[in-house]
A and B are shown apart, each in its own frame.
Chain A
Amino acid sequence: MPTISVNGQTREVEAEDDTPLLWVLRENLGLTGTKYGCGIAQCGACTVHIDGEAVRSCSVPLSEAVGKKIATIEGLAEGGVLHRVQKAWIEHDVPQCGYCQSGMIMAVVALLKEKPQPTDADIDAAITNICRCGTFQQVRAAIHAAAKA
């Protein structure tokens, strides 16, 4: 059986090699914080990190995830302490329905790693997640706040 490393743990999964990582995470590993929205890498609700990079897990086959370090929203807090992006999200009361926010947060964490002080233009270029509730004003404010934290 394929073995993958998720949030620091090595897990065996009984799934076909071409199963999208999204469904391995959700159905085989019960990590349902990562969401299904489109299945074609458009909406970003399924964003996770593979070796630190934000990727859309609906479009990554299991075979490509083997041997790499995968991080999901469930693994973002360390030792029970929320990540500064999560804290900023709570402080700015960002989510409405909240469904897209796991992916949004994972995309933002990756952005801040690459650009610790992103400009609005950096945000516009990097954050392409769809939010049908339209939380973008709070998302932008929370990104800037997290960058300062």
Chain B
Amino acid sequence: MTERRSFVPAPDRRSFIIGAAAAGGGLALGLRLPFSPAHAATSPEVNAWVAIKPDETVAVRVVRSEMGQGTLTGLAQLVAEELDCDWSKVTTEYPTPGESAARGRPWGEFMTGGSRGIRASQDYVRKGAAAARAMLIEAAAQEWKVSADECSVSNGVIAHKASGRSTTYGKVADAAAKIPVPSGVSLKDPSKWTIAGKGLKRLDTADKTTGKMIYGIDFSLPGMLHAAIKDCPVFGGRLKSFDESKIAGFKGVKKVMRVGETAVAVIADSWWRAKTALDALPIEWDEGPNARSSSESVAAWLKEGLDYAQPAVVGNSVGDARGALAKAAKTYEAVYAYPHQNHAAMEPLNATALYTDEKCEVWTGTQNGEAAFTAVMSASGLPAEKCEVHKLMLGGGFGRRGFTDYVEQAVLIAKQMPGAPIKLLWSREEDMAHGKYHPVTQCKLTASFDDKKNLTGLRLRISGQSIFSVVRPEIVKNGLDPAVFQGFAPSGDAALGYDFPNFLADHSMRNPSTPPGWWRGVNVNQNVIYLECFMDELAHEVGEDPVAFRRKFLGKSPKHLAVLNAVAERIGWERPAPKGVYRGIAVAMGYGSYVAGAAEISLSDDGAVKVRRIVAATDPGYAVNPAQIERQVAGSFVYGLSGLFYGGITIKDGRAVERNFDDYPSMRIREMPQVETIVMPSGGFWGGVGEPTICVAAPAVLNAYFAATGKRIRSAPLKNAGIAMA
């Protein structure tokens, strides 16, 4: 099995720097840039968060990326709330990573993932806005020679009631920028919010309906050339050679080049010409040590890890689950599995790079501007002050654009053609072949009962891939990747809700050659299927109602219980379902939020599943934009159920088999269930929204499938079991 482990890379300079940033260590890049940031036209800047123009336009400066989740709009709402400005005049803009580095990282980290876009930024953006408000008021007060305490502000208009004077943010912004930043500011109580907490419309919709929005793929520079690329299709393989002479006469081709150790690119005056030539280019690969890896061989290897006698690292232990099993009057066991998935964001990966002796600039859609910036530094060999990344709109991210492989490739290409802007675009086939795939795991669960059918313990063994051991190995200490236990962690933002008398969850780490990555929802996707389908199995085993059975173990988790009760009530759990309709339910915590889902399905004559309705409840603590939360919840179900029914990346001969949306389908509108979202923020904490609910749809549907058919489906995708969506 050594060949499978050979793909785990050693920590390199890049992952060290990113890791240090993520751990709060800070990037030591306090350098001045020789060129101006792209938004220098915006002025004056009151502080790092807010720039106000004389026409009263308020530009809210956000480093989190917009990839569809409404993060920019939500953060702008929080800023506008504390600023008390006119919402109709709010816009957003991205500071660049280069500017951030040069200014000592006033905006902190850029990472947009883990449903953290709002929850991990809310505190400092609100404080930044409150500070800007205080500075603006102080500027007016100084002009009027009165105390700031005597001034009030509403909708961006500052008033001094005693003298009847008033002015606007736009008029005092210049003066405010010169006022020292106040050290302590107080934030509004969320119950007093008037802009945040409302289902306001997104700020970026209009251009998305007219074709004007510029995504990375649309970006253009004068004289730009286009690159098409093929990386070795076998994971861990290398480029051996290519025969350039065979495409000598191809129109528009400027150059054929090696990119790093593993890839070849064709550069042409249009992407279509580059791709056409690349498809005709004879390439020889050194397929390396993984060329015989397959889904079957990996599955067999993972299955070995389910043996409780195999070494494993404990992620959560309560009481003595081993002892409970040994003493059990009866045990019940099931084995589940979940496959690789590809992100397949609608916009294929791309980046435009311009390399000169003076600097290296990149324009791209990225979920992590600083990681992209670090990739530009490392691939170009230039220092921070000679690098820059300009972020563009993402045509979907889902975790894939948190990686920077495509950015690095673009720079390596541009470096071989100094002075020429190069846009690298992956074909869909390249995107499918070189994913950072959802990790593949299996799970064995064993329940122990006493002679009165009381559950006395639950033991759970995960066998399979760890993302962090490959992507950020410095996080994995003594073999423990905490993210592997998402959904049944002892504490934190994806904690187990059930108060089992005895519980043990451990992990036999087995990393096949496929590169793993964060796929919307990450490990809650399969972990909640494992646990919530198994809970359903146990309820049926002891002859209890699945909701009542769960409630017995949620006594110490009132927020889990509240969302479970909310969906049970809305779906009408206490009443029989309509004829031919079957129900299933699931509850979990992920990304700091409490979520539950209840599904209603029916079966067509050919056995296809019609997911008719899903009721979903989410308690994210605070709901910044309930309308966008509803969209994220419904959207997450499309992503998660597409993976459950149709997804799954098959490995054969060391490479991904699926090539495009014909063999890796995604749900269409005809398959969309009616989704009813209950947003029930209970306050006092900040949970995420983009990912948590994804994990309850699949187990709710699978449990409903059991209710309908008496059959337990314990592995995905369902297409492998001949089950389609109707």
Interface residues of A (CB under 8 A from B): 15-16, 19-20, 23, 26-28, 30-40, 42-43, 45, 72-74, 76-77, 82, 86, 89-90, 93-102, 105, 123-125, 127-140
Contacts and interface: CB of A to CB of B under 8 A. Distances in A.
B638 interface: yes
B724 to A, nearest CB: 15
A28 B348 CA distance: 20
B398 interface: yes
A96 B211 contact: no
B573 interface: no
B694 to A, nearest CB: 10
Contacts of B217: 32, 35-36
A93 B428 CA distance: 28
Interface stretch (B5-13, B201-209, B257-265): B201-209
A90 B206 contact: yes
B214 interface: yes
A38 B202 contact: no
A89 to B, nearest CB: 4
Interface in B401-431: 425, 427-428
B76 interface: no
Given A27-B271, A134-B637, A125 B670 contact: yes
Nearest to B428: A38
A132 B205 contact: no
Q: Please list the 3 inter-chain residue pairs (A to B) with the smallest Cβ-Cβ separation, ordered nearest first.
A: A33-B211, A134-B638, A99-B395
B725 to A, nearest CB: 12
B68 A30 contact: no
Nearest to B251: A16
Contact of A72 (B201, B211, B345, B675): B211
Interface centre among B208, B212, B270, B661 (most CB of A within 10 A): B208
B610 to A, nearest CB: 12
A45 B347 CA distance: 9
Contacts of B642: 132
A59 to B, nearest CB: 12
Given A93-B201, A137-B672, 20 more contacts: A23-B272, A32-B218, A86-B209, A90-B205, A95-B209, A96-B631, A96-B635, A97-B395, A98-B393, A101-B209, A105-B209, A129-B668, A132-B638, A134-B637, A134-B667, A134-B672, A136-B638, A136-B669, A137-B675, A139-B669
A72 to B, nearest CB: 7
B427 A131 contact: no
Interface of B: 67-70, 201-202, 204-215, 217-218, 220, 226, 251, 270-272, 344-348, 393-398, 425, 427-428, 627, 631, 634-639, 642, 660-662, 666-670, 672, 674-675
A83 to B, nearest CB: 9
B253 to A, nearest CB: 13
A9 B674 CA distance: 42
17 contacts: A16-B251, A27-B271, A27-B272, A30-B220, A32-B214, A90-B205, A96-B70, A97-B395, A97-B397, A98-B68, A98-B207, A98-B208, A99-B345, A99-B347, A130-B346, A131-B638, A136-B667
Nearest to A87: B209
B205 A124 contact: no
B205 A127 contact: no
Contacts of B397: 97
A84 to B, nearest CB: 11
Given A90-B205, A130-B661, A131-B638, A77 B627 contact: no
A137 B427 CA distance: 29
B661 A42 contact: yes
Contacts of A136: 634, 638, 667-669, 672
A35 to B, nearest CB: 7
B74 to A, nearest CB: 13
A33 B67 CA distance: 17
Contact of A73 (B211, B220, B271, B669): B211
A35 B208 contact: no
B210 A133 contact: no
Contacts of B637: 134
B660 A132 contact: no
Given A45-B346, A133-B68, A134-B638, A33 B212 contact: yes
Contact of A35 (B395, B661, B662): B395
A58 to B, nearest CB: 10
Contacts of B674: 137
Given A39-B428, A89-B209, A132-B666, A98 B204 contact: yes
A37 B428 contact: yes
A145 to B, nearest CB: 13
A35 B348 CA distance: 10
**Highest count of chain A CB atoms <10 Å: which of B202, B210, B638, B670:** B210
Contacts of B67: 97
Contacts of A134: 634-639, 667, 672
Contact of A77 (B202, B210, B345, B639): B210
Given A23-B270, A99-B396, A38 B214 contact: no
A102 B638 contact: no
A26 B347 CA distance: 14
B508 to A, nearest CB: 32
B668 A130 contact: yes
A142 to B, nearest CB: 10
Contact of B210 (A36, A73, A129, A139): A73
Contacts of A27: 226, 270-272
A26 B667 CA distance: 27
Nearest to A98: B208
A55 to B, nearest CB: 17
A124 B70 CA distance: 27
Contact of A36 (B348, B660, B667, B670): B348
Contacts of B210: 33, 73-74, 76-77, 82, 86
Nearest to A103: B346
A133 B660 contact: no
Nearest to A86: B209
Contact of A101 (B201, B208, B271): B208
B269 to A, nearest CB: 9
B395 A135 contact: no
Given A86-B210, A89-B205, A40 B638 contact: no
A135 B209 contact: no
Contact of B211 (A20, A36, A102): A102
Contacts of A26: 218
Nearest to B396: A97
A23 to B, nearest CB: 4
A138 B425 CA distance: 30
Given A97-B396, A132-B346, A137-B672, A20 B202 contact: no
A98 B660 CA distance: 20
Given A93-B205, A99-B346, A34 B211 contact: yes
B172 to A, nearest CB: 33
B669 to A, nearest CB: 4
A30 B219 CA distance: 10
A97 B215 CA distance: 10
Contacts of A31: 211
B66 to A, nearest CB: 8
Contacts of A125: 670
A141 to B, nearest CB: 11
A86 B639 CA distance: 25
A137 to B, nearest CB: 5
Contacts of B427: 39
A87 B165 CA distance: 41
